[in-house]
Amino acid sequence: MKFMTLLFGLLGLVTVAAAWSKEDREIFRIRDELRAHMEDPDQSFYDLLGIKPSASIEDISKAFRKITRSLHPDKVAQKLKAERIAAKKAGTFIPGVNINKPPSQKEIRAAVKVAEERQSRLSLVRNILSGPERDRYDHFLRNGFPAWKGTNYYYDRYRPGLGTALFGVFFFAGGAHPLPRPLHEPPPPQGLYRALHQVRPRPGLG
């Protein structure tokens, strides 16, 4: 019985994993990539844009434009220089940074590259929340996201649906009891056993 239960669970996991669409997998991939660069991995796509889940398409576009303006290379360089000046005045220690000197071109290029990568990720978020994939993302946001398990995306704990649960109940309930008699055939009456015993020849007679 334990083996059959395990087998049933594994078959259910395979079915769920095979059910992911191309769009679902793209949502999972983008989310995993974003989580690797976020201070709070539990942030949603809406949190990244600073909007509510009920935001309209126009709200999403406005929020995206507002953030990307701050990621322009000129803005990034200005911000880096301003932070260096503020750190020098406050005497703030920044590991690996000489606060007494303005940012070098190498430091500015590195900061611009980080900003460009962030803008690219936010563009993917904007596209998902502005397109038909938003319904799927909202579904997983409410019900939980699967995790990558080496070869595919799986939930940490398999949660079967109603149809699967009913099949399991029928399957295991049927397998746990002996099969019924054909056509509900009643057992032979006890009187028949006594009659057969009486007609058997006794030892030493006849």
Give bridge partners of residue 148 from the DSSP assignment: 153
Query: Is residue 82 exposed (0-12), middle (13-18) or buried (19+ Cβ within 10 Å)?
Result: exposed
Could you identify the residue written with the tokens 């007679």?
Answer: 205
Q: Which tens digits make up the pLDDT trace of 52-81?
A: 999 999 999 999 999 999 999 999 999 999
The CA-atom distances, in angstroms, between 178 and each of 41, 165, 171, 182, 183 are 52, 22, 13, 12, 15
Contact yes or no for 146/45 (Cβ under 8 A): no
Pick 205 or 132 by higher pLDDT.
Answer: 132
- Show the tokens assigned to 196: 């057969």
pLDDT grade for 12, boundaries at 50, 70 and 90:
very low
pLDDT grade for 109, boundaries at 50, 70 and 90:
very high
pTM over 0.75: no
pLDDT grade for 150, boundaries at 50, 70 and 90:
confident
Task: For residues 13 and 16, give the distance between their C-alpha atoms in angstroms, rounded to a whole number.
Answer: 5
Mean pLDDT over 1-15 rounds to 45
